[in-house]
Amino acid sequence: MKKIIEMNQLIKLDILLKKLNSLLEDILHYQFGIEDKEWINAINTIEEGYALARNFINKRKKTAQDWFEKGLKYKEDKNYEKAINAFLNVVDINPNDVIAWLNLANSYSGNKKHKKAIESLERALEIDPYNAIVLKELGIIYNEISNYDEAIKALKKALELDSTYIEAWRLLGFAYEKNSLPDLAAKAFEKARKFNRIP
């Protein structure tokens, strides 16, 4: 139901923007006099509407930031249930916030809700498919639940994006080792050591 309401709001906004664009064309064409009282009242009404909309957006942004900061504090205190609730509020306000989805996944993982954590990271990857940090976090969770094949896939993708990602190499080495692939594990650990030595 909420998604339908949001879609209706977007449709209304799109229609309004088209109307404003048409209004601008009329203004340029007819060149209304700047002393026309009706015209001045119309402009004032548009300005008031803009101010109300901007104020609403700013409040939403502030609310999202407040929830995000609360979530970080709860996560730091290992109060994962409250952290989950806080980050859910953030992504409800801003569903394209990759960092919020990442922190939500970390909180789910801390609460041993690994399936939810994976779903959150997959949502983050839908928004930003080339995020090596999200892929590395996905590798961590798959390692934690002993799904080493999926961990290897995620970590290899992370390393395709950043071949010097030390933590991803270490985690990949661990996954290979647990998956009975000692030669590949040794190479991955060596890569981690190599990049760790580079100043």
- Give the type of residue at 181: L
Q: How confident is the model at residue 4 (pLDDT cuts 50, 70, 90)?
A: very low
The model's confidence at residue 2, banded by pLDDT at 50, 70 and 90, is: very low
Task: Provide the pLDDT for residue 36.
Answer: 67
Domain that holds residue 18: 2-197
What is the per-residue pLDDT for 19? 72
State which amino acid sits at residue 106.
N
Per-residue pLDDT tens for 111-120?
A: 999 999 999 9
Nearest to 174 by CA among 155, 197, 198, 160: 155
Query: Is-contact 117 124, C-beta < 8 A?
Result: no
Residue 33 pLDDT: 55
Packing angle, helices 98-110 and 37-76, rounded to 10? 30
If DSSP states are collapsed to H, E and C, what string results for the chain?
Answer: CHHHHHHHHHHHHHHHHHHHHHHHHHHHHHCCCCCCHHHHHHHHHHHHHHHHHHHHHHHHHHHHHHHHHHHHHHHHCCCHHHHHHHHHHHHHHCCCCHHHHHHHHHHHHHCCCHHHHHHHHHHHHHHCCCCHHHHHHHHHHHHHCCCHHHHHHHHHHHHHHCCCCHHHHHHHHHHHHHCCCHHHHHHHHHHHHHHHHCC
CA distance 65 to 14: 27
The whole-model pTM stands at 0.70
Q: What is the band of 93 on the pLDDT scale with cuts at 50, 70, 90?
A: confident
Q: Which residue has the higher pLDDT, 199 or 178?
A: 178
CATH, residue 29 = 1.25.40.10
The number of domains in the chain is 1
